Chains A and B, each alone.
Chain A
């Protein structure tokens, strides 16, 4: 160090830094490095320290004294993210410096502020030097992802609140205190009260508050207007006596059952003393969610007909939506959808097996593509096939015909259950995809030996196969032979890598995102093709190259990263990025389907909020990182 004065000032800075996380845990050498490179600036109250207009953030700021207000630029949907106050020991803008882009926040001095400044280059060197600091920054970015998940939760909270289960007690469904009148009340008075309170029914109670009758809107026409009943008469002369009542502790099912059995639209809820506590209408029950997870599984497992399964598949969608609303992450959610769809498909196969004699054939039902990877979203068509064994004594053609007939049945049944037939004919009923183990092996070997464009495309679909039903060991053997072939074939792997690298993340040089890649959908990003696929393709290549049998993208990334010496936090950030893109896809598809459109993957970045845009950018950057690794490993 240059001299004793510098030494003293640097020591004082270190002493200051040590009072705050993450510097209190930072390696001595890294802390020294940091303190030696900090410079001190002053900003008077109200001064703008950093704004988006200042361009790419080239300085990391670390508050020594005073408070700084960070205000999100642009539209912000939630107050708590709109602004936050930073104090001594806190640094900014971590995300923007890391990413070398303009800050998304405006940072203004709330009071007189002394602020250390660190040039971006030194910031990066510090991240390399200090695992503590690196972790801190990585976690900070990850916490943004959590914030976004919370936002999503709030967004759906309203809907989730409405989706109580049918197990809810009536007490929780009743929204307001019931209106009731004594039996002697005049008809005129009752109708007037109903009109002014905008209610469809009036309960008539005796002196003990026990309901003795009900008078509804529809009674007005039949019992008053048409017969010309005088309005001065008592309400008890026109009410329906002995209305149906249930204890308030009964649940929504009981009410629905009562309505169905007695053909009525209102059920009264009474307490232990028989006193009126509320009215449950058919409409109240209508908004209730019909099902829960266990019920769905039960329904599927015991379904006796395709028709019942069709209902269940709708329930699966509804339930997935609830889970989305409850803030379940994309990884769990896509796996969950896949798992239920698996159960459903298995039941479909079982039902179809009743009508087909496959005795003596060893076979397995395979799923490909997103289902093969356990990554199904709301919009999924069929991608399946069959592998079977043909022994010497069997006639190969006869056997295939039997399998194909069965497959056609299953494909059609699945179609009726909400899994549309595959336009590309990637279905077990396609003779090309209903093959013996040897034929599959030969097919794969052909693709690997001569990796033409079509072969590479096929590999991205079929190499993600997974057994769903039947003899799983057939699929396991196919997987082993596939891995044996790919591992040793450098040319094929390189071609796969090149193929994966033909699509780059849609990050703009000037604007945040490139949104004009598809002339038919201007202003949008295809989050499947330009987002999720980047991760999926890279993960597949890593898996094939490192002898990993898993088909799920997250698992593939986790398993291969340890073999490739990628630090856990780095792969964690990549997985978070992938999951966020999947989450946006799920949300978008749900929104589209709710508005009666086919759930596509065209997301408008403009319609995301500031936080989501930031995270999406970060996710794309992670994809770029993954691609860089791919390029490096396969010289593609």
Chain B
């Protein structure tokens, strides 16, 4: 998986149904945005911390229900630079699933038209690198929805704190690599677990910790975090 290849090489296939003109225009405008400079300092960069809720944990089948996101700009969280959307669902997820994220049946049915929801997300996101904990899940859900409703590939770098944190804090004995363990270590409280915004807020504060640590460990840029994650993944695979 080479994200740079995605960024420059691959052609988007387009959605199953052609987009309306205004949606197409919004999408084009987003595409025109210049890519983020990944070599600037953390403290001159914008990170988009993302958390998604889905109809289940099966990445192959389950659908994206909501996106919660929060920016960390120049190392600081500004509550006004936050995003939340519920995608309209034709089929409401199971009761057990609703109990987890709390987005009820009517809320799911009254959600935003998925293409519009995703365009709004892209508008908020810009070309900022994305950050999540166990990012693969969030990435897969978002990618599939983007392909399905907008017919595009996101083509932006993802940074997974589940890989970055253990590398930055090798001194902490962290066999358990759960988000909650990290939150406990740094005293970060989660307002409402399994709410996308709340989880994103907690993850964003974890990112703040990571940024400060990165500065001390000569991992001072978004690119260095991507590289750090890649190296660790490679080492784990090799070992």
Chain A residue with the shortest CB-CB distance to B75 = A41
Q: Which residues, 68 to 89 on B, are CB-close (under 8 Å) to A?
A: 68-70, 75-80, 82-84
Let me know if A2 is at the binding interface, CB within 8 A: yes
Let me know if B198 is at the binding interface, CB within 8 A: yes
Residues of the B chain whose Cβ atoms lie less than 8 Å from the Cβ of A9: 70, 79, 82, 197, 201
In the assembled complex, the CB of A385 is this many whole angstroms from the nearest CB of chain B, namely 67
Chain A residue with the shortest CB-CB distance to B198 = A8
* B208-235 Cβ-contact flags toward A at 8 Å (1 or 0): 1101110010000000000000000000
Distance between Cα atoms of A42 and B201 in the complex (Å): 13
* A65-83 Cβ-contact flags toward B at 8 Å (1 or 0): 1100000000000000000
In the assembled complex, the CB of B20 is this many whole angstroms from the nearest CB of chain A, namely 23
In the assembled complex, the CB of B125 is this many whole angstroms from the nearest CB of chain A, namely 13
Answer whether A6 and B75 are a contact pair too, CB < 8 Å, given A42-B205, A42-B209, A66-B187. no
Residues of the A chain whose Cβ atoms lie less than 8 Å from the Cβ of B195: 8
Distance between Cα atoms of A41 and B212 in the complex (Å): 10
Distance between Cα atoms of A40 and B84 in the complex (Å): 19
Distance between Cα atoms of A36 and B68 in the complex (Å): 19
8 Å CB contact of A44 from B69, B192, B212: B212
Distance between Cα atoms of A43 and B213 in the complex (Å): 10
In the assembled complex, the CB of B82 is this many whole angstroms from the nearest CB of chain A, namely 4
Residues of the B chain whose Cβ atoms lie less than 8 Å from the Cβ of A41: 75-77, 208
Let me know if A146 is at the binding interface, CB within 8 A: no
In the assembled complex, the CB of B122 is this many whole angstroms from the nearest CB of chain A, namely 15
Distance between Cα atoms of A165 and B81 in the complex (Å): 70
* A36-57 Cβ-contact flags toward B at 8 Å (1 or 0): 1011111110010000000000
Let me know if B3 is at the binding interface, CB within 8 A: no
Let me know if A196 is at the binding interface, CB within 8 A: no
In the assembled complex, the CB of B216 is this many whole angstroms from the nearest CB of chain A, namely 7
In the assembled complex, the CB of A522 is this many whole angstroms from the nearest CB of chain B, namely 45
Answer whether A5 and B209 are a contact pair too, CB < 8 Å, given A39-B77, A41-B76, A112-B186. no
Residues of the A chain whose Cβ atoms lie less than 8 Å from the Cβ of B208: 40-42, 114
Q: Which residues, 506 to 538 on A, are CB-close (under 8 Å) to B?
A: none
Q: Please determine whether A10 and B75 come into contact, CB atoms closer than 8 angstroms.
A: no
Q: Please determine whether A3 and B212 come into contact, CB atoms closer than 8 angstroms.
A: no
Distance between Cα atoms of A579 and B182 in the complex (Å): 53
Q: Please determine whether B80 and A6 come into contact, CB atoms closer than 8 angstroms.
A: yes
8 Å CB contact of B84 from A3, A66, A114: A3
Answer whether A6 and B186 are a contact pair too, CB < 8 Å, given A12-B191, A42-B212, A112-B209. no
* A274-298 Cβ-contact flags toward B at 8 Å (1 or 0): 0000000000000000000000000
Chain A residue with the shortest CB-CB distance to B208 = A42
In the assembled complex, the CB of A119 is this many whole angstroms from the nearest CB of chain B, namely 11
Distance between Cα atoms of A2 and B81 in the complex (Å): 9
Residues of the A chain whose Cβ atoms lie less than 8 Å from the Cβ of B78: 39
Distance between Cα atoms of A294 and B238 in the complex (Å): 93
8 Å CB contact of B69 from A5, A38, A65, A112: A5
Q: Which residues, 69 to 127 on A, are CB-close (under 8 Å) to B?
A: 112, 114, 117
Distance between Cα atoms of A114 and B68 in the complex (Å): 21
Distance between Cα atoms of A213 and B6 in the complex (Å): 111
Q: Please determine whether A6 and B212 come into contact, CB atoms closer than 8 angstroms.
A: no
Answer whether A5 and B83 are a contact pair too, CB < 8 Å, given A44-B209, A44-B212, A65-B187. yes
Q: Please determine whether A8 and B84 come into contact, CB atoms closer than 8 angstroms.
A: yes
8 Å CB contact of A39 from B68, B79, B205: B79
Answer whether A5 and B212 are a contact pair too, CB < 8 Å, given A36-B79, A40-B76. no
Residues of the A chain whose Cβ atoms lie less than 8 Å from the Cβ of B186: 112
Residues of the B chain whose Cβ atoms lie less than 8 Å from the Cβ of A114: 187-188, 205, 208
Let me know if A343 is at the binding interface, CB within 8 A: no
Residues of the B chain whose Cβ atoms lie less than 8 Å from the Cβ of A43: 212
Let me know if A350 is at the binding interface, CB within 8 A: no
Distance between Cα atoms of A82 and B149 in the complex (Å): 62
Distance between Cα atoms of A66 and B80 in the complex (Å): 24
Residues of the B chain whose Cβ atoms lie less than 8 Å from the Cβ of A39: 76-79
Residues of the B chain whose Cβ atoms lie less than 8 Å from the Cβ of A299: none
Residues of the A chain whose Cβ atoms lie less than 8 Å from the Cβ of B197: 4-5, 8-9
Residues of the A chain whose Cβ atoms lie less than 8 Å from the Cβ of B211: 42
Answer whether A5 and B77 are a contact pair too, CB < 8 Å, given A42-B208, A47-B212. no
Q: Which residues, 174 to 195 on B, are CB-close (under 8 Å) to A?
A: 186-188, 191-192, 195
Let me know if A13 is at the binding interface, CB within 8 A: yes
Chain B residue with the shortest CB-CB distance to A117 = B76
Q: Please determine whether A2 and B75 come into contact, CB atoms closer than 8 angstroms.
A: no
In the assembled complex, the CB of B88 is this many whole angstroms from the nearest CB of chain A, namely 15
Q: Please determine whether B75 and A5 come into contact, CB atoms closer than 8 angstroms.
A: no
Answer whether A5 and B213 are a contact pair too, CB < 8 Å, given A40-B76, A112-B187. no
Distance between Cα atoms of A9 and B205 in the complex (Å): 13
In the assembled complex, the CB of B196 is this many whole angstroms from the nearest CB of chain A, namely 8
Distance between Cα atoms of A12 and B188 in the complex (Å): 13
Q: Please determine whether A4 and B84 come into contact, CB atoms closer than 8 angstroms.
A: yes
In the assembled complex, the CB of A108 is this many whole angstroms from the nearest CB of chain B, namely 14
Indicate the member of A3, A8, A10, A42 with the most B CB atoms within 10 Å.
Answer: A42
Chain A residue with the shortest CB-CB distance to B213 = A44
8 Å CB contact of A5 from B76, B84, B187, B192: B84
- Sample (17) of A-B pairs whose CB atoms are under 8 Å apart: A3-B83, A4-B197, A6-B80, A8-B195, A8-B197, A10-B79, A12-B191, A39-B76, A39-B79, A40-B79, A40-B208, A44-B212, A44-B213, A44-B216, A65-B188, A112-B187, A112-B209
A-B pairs, top 5 by smallest CB distance, nearest first, are: A42-B208, A5-B84, A5-B82, A40-B77, A9-B79
Given A6-B80, A8-B197, 15 new contacts (CB under 8 A): A4-B197, A5-B69, A8-B191, A8-B195, A8-B198, A9-B79, A9-B201, A12-B191, A12-B201, A39-B78, A41-B76, A41-B77, A42-B75, A65-B187, A114-B188
